[in-house]
C-alpha cells in the first residue's frame, strides 16, 4: 500500500502568467516514453512482481521505495503543467470565443479535453501506454533497464529545460534533475553489488553536471543529491546496504532518510468558467456545502 500525502516535494512557484507551449513540452516529462509515468509504472510493476523478496530484500526495498517517490514526481509534473496554462484564456459568453487563445497552441487537448490541465500523454499528444513497462523478472536485467531509463529521463529533462525559460517549469526540472541523478547512482550501485561492474564511472550521462543548471543548484546545496528516502517510517530500511559510501561526484556521504520529505502545499487551481470547470455556481456551491454539513465557508 502507499500512504498518500497532500503535498508536493518542492515549493512550486505559482506564475502570474503561464506558457501553454511550454506546458506542451513538459508533457513529455510526464507521459513520454522516458517520462515520470514510465518510471513510476516500471518500478511499481517490478516491485509487485519481484521474486524472492526475502533473499534479495535490499534490491526489492530499493525499487519499492523509489516507486513511492516516482508517484510524487508524477504529481509534481502534472501540477507544473496545470500552472503553465495559467492566463491563456478568459471568461465570457460563448459567441466571443473565450478559448480562442488555445486555438494555435501546440497541444489543443489541454483546452478541449482537460480544462487546461495535464494529460497522461507525451508532448505530441500521444497517450502513455503500458508497452513502456519493462519487467523481465531477471534482477540484473531489470536493474540495468532502470539505470538506462533514468538516464533517458535525465536527457529529456535537460532538453526541455533548454527549450523553455519559464520559471515554474525550470524549478520543477531543476529539482528532478537532482533527484533523477540520485536514482541513476542508486541503480548503478545496486548493479555494482550484483555484477562487480562499476557503472558509476560512466556518469554523468549526458556529460553535463547538474550544477550547470541554475535551478538545480539550490537543491544540490540542500544535499538532495546525496539522500535516498525510504518513503516509510518502518519499511524498506535495507536500502542502506546499497546506498552507502560517498557520492562519486562530490565526495559527500550518502544518507538514507527513514520516511519522506516534509513537502509543500499543492497550488490551488482557480475556477475556469470558460471551460465550465468545475461548473458549480456560487448558489449551487452553497447548497452543496449545506448538504455536506459545512458552515461559514461561503
Residue 242 cell numbers, joined: 546499497
Answer whether residue 5 is part of any domain.
no
- Percent share of the chain, pLDDT over 90: 95
Continuous H helices in 196-279: 214-221
| Helix and strand element counts for the chain (H, E) | 9, 2
Answer whether residue 200 is part of any domain.
yes
Given a contact cutoff of 8 angstroms between Cβ atoms, the answer to whether 277 and 85 are in contact is no
Do 260 and 187 fall within a single domain? yes
Do 276 and 208 fall within a single domain? no
Residue 13 phi, psi dihedral angles, 5° rounding: -70, 135
Do 259 and 275 fall within a single domain? no
Overall average pLDDT of the 85-94 stretch: 95
Answer whether residue 42 is part of any domain.
yes
At 296, the pLDDT band (50, 70, 90 cuts) reads low
Do 289 and 202 fall within a single domain? no
Radius of gyration of the chain (CA): 21
**pLDDT the model gives residue 295:** 79
Given a contact cutoff of 8 angstroms between Cβ atoms, the answer to whether 231 and 68 are in contact is yes
Q: Tens digits of per-residue pLDDT, 236-247?
A: 999 999 999 999
Show the domain range for 62.
20-267
**pLDDT the model gives residue 274:** 96
Do 254 and 281 fall within a single domain? no
Do 260 and 202 fall within a single domain? yes
Do 25 and 65 fall within a single domain? yes
Overall average pLDDT of the 240-262 stretch: 96
- Percent share of the chain, pLDDT over 70: 99
Domain count, the chain: 2
- Cα–Cα distance between 88 and 115 in angstroms, integer? 11
Answer whether residue 2 is part of any domain.
no
Q: Is pLDDT of 174 > 90?
A: yes
- 36 belongs to an annotated ligand binding site: yes
Given a contact cutoff of 8 angstroms between Cβ atoms, the answer to whether 249 and 209 are in contact is yes
Q: Under DSSP, is residue 264 helix (H, G, I), strand (E, B) or coil?
A: strand
Overall average pLDDT of the 100-105 stretch: 96
Q: Is pLDDT of 263 > 80?
A: yes
CA angle 37, 42, 44 (to 5 degrees): 95
| HSE, side-chain direction, 13 A CA sphere, residue 81 | 30
**pLDDT the model gives residue 1:** 87
Answer whether residue 1 is part of any domain.
no
Q: Is pLDDT of 227 > 70?
A: yes
Do 232 and 245 fall within a single domain? yes
- 150 belongs to an annotated ligand binding site: yes
Do 133 and 65 fall within a single domain? yes
- 73 belongs to an annotated ligand binding site: yes
- 156 belongs to an annotated ligand binding site: no
Residue 27 cell numbers, joined: 508533457
Do 260 and 283 fall within a single domain? no
Residues 6+ apart with CB under 8 A from 105: 20, 21, 24, 88, 111
Answer whether residue 34 is part of any domain.
yes
Q: Which residue bears the cell 516507486?
A: 67
For the domain that residue 55 is a member of, what is the CATH number? 1.20.1260.10
Using a cut of 0.75, tell me whether the model's pTM lies above it: yes
Answer whether residue 150 is part of any domain.
yes
- 17 belongs to an annotated ligand binding site: no
- 11 belongs to an annotated ligand binding site: no
Q: Is pLDDT of 58 > 60?
A: yes
3-state helix, strand, coil in the chain (%, to 5): 50, 5, 45
Amino acid at each position: 500500500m502507499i500512504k498518500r500525502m497532500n503535498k508536493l516535494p518542492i515549493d512550486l512557484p505559482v506564475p502570474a502568467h503561464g506558457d501553454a507551449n511550454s506546458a506542451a513540452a513538459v508533457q513529455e516529462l510526464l507521459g513520454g516514453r522516458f517520462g515520470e509515468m514510465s518510471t513510476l509504472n516500471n518500478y511499481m510493476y517490478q516491485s509487485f512482481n519481484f521474486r524472492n523478496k526475502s533473499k534479495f530484500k535490499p534490491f526489492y526495498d530499493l525499487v519499492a521505495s523509489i516507486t513511492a517517490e516516482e508517484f510524487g514526481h508524477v504529481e509534481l509534473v502534472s501540477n507544473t503543467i496545470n500552472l503553465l496554462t495559467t492566463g491563456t484564456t478568459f471568461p465570457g459568453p460563448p459567441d466571443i470565443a473565450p478559448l480562442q487563445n488555445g486555438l494555435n497552441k501546440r497541444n489543443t487537448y489541454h483546452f478541449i479535453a482537460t480544462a487546461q490541465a495535464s494529460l497522461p500523454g507525451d508532448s505530441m499528444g500521444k497517450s502513455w501506454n503500458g508497452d513502456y513497462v519493462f519487467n523481465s523478472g531477471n534482477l540484473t536485467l531489470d536493474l540495468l533497464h532502470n539505470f538506462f531509463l533514468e538516464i533517458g529521463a535525465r536527457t529529456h529533462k535537460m532538453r526541455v529545460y533548454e527549450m523553455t525559460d519559464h520559471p515554474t517549469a525550470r524549478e520543477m526540472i531543476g529539482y528532478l534533475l537532482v533527484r533523477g541523478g540520485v536514482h541513476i547512482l542508486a541503480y548503478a550501485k545496486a548493479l555494482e553489488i550484483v555484477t562487480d561492474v562499476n557503472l558509476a564511472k560512466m556518469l554523468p550521462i549526458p556529460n553535463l553536471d547538474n550544477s550547470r543548471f541554475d535551478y538545480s543548484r539550490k537543491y544540490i546545496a540542500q544535499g538532495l543529491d546525496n539522500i535516498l528516502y525510504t518513503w516509510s517510517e518502518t519499511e524498506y530500511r535495507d536500502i542502506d546496504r546499497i546506498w552507502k559510501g560517498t557520492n562519486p561526484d562530490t565526495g559527500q556521504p550518502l544518507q538514507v532518510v527513514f520516511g519522506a520529505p516534509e513537502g509543500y502545499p499543492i497550488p490551488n487551481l482557480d475556477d475556469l468558467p470558460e471551460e465550465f470547470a468545475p461548473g458549480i455556481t456560487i448558489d449551487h456551491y452553497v447548497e452543496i456545502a449545506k448538504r455536506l454539513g459545512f458552515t461559514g465557508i461561503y
